[in-house]
Amino acid sequence: MALKELSRYGQYIALGTHIAASMMIPVLAGIYADNRWGSSPWGVIIGALVGFGAMISIVLRLAAQTGRNEYMEKRKKSDHG
């Protein structure tokens, strides 16, 4: 297995971990808030909404970055050819 392939797998693992953490951390904070202040189920609901928003933000940022990278690759090819 080439080093480049391992690097790509590492990027995918990091992305998956980042997305999972962006959802889990706010939900866990909501569970803590519900247990601490007896506000069930509002802490979990708000945490889930915040986590979902963070997840969407990550996906949109990744899509924009991918689009920029593809544009730059096409531009480099057209400049050389």
Using one digit for the tens of pLDDT, what is the confidence trace for 41-69? 999 999 999 999 999 999 999 889 888 88
pLDDT, one tens digit per residue, over 8-54 is 888 889 989 999 999 999 999 999 999 999 999 999 999 999 999 99
CA-CA-CA-CA dihedral for 33, 36, 37, 41, to nearest 10: 50
Tokens found for residue 66: 């991918």
- Helix, strand, coil percentages for the chain (3-state, nearest 5): 90, 0, 10
Q: How many CB atoms lie within 10 A of CB 10?
A: 10
- What pTM, to 2 d.p., does this model score? 0.80
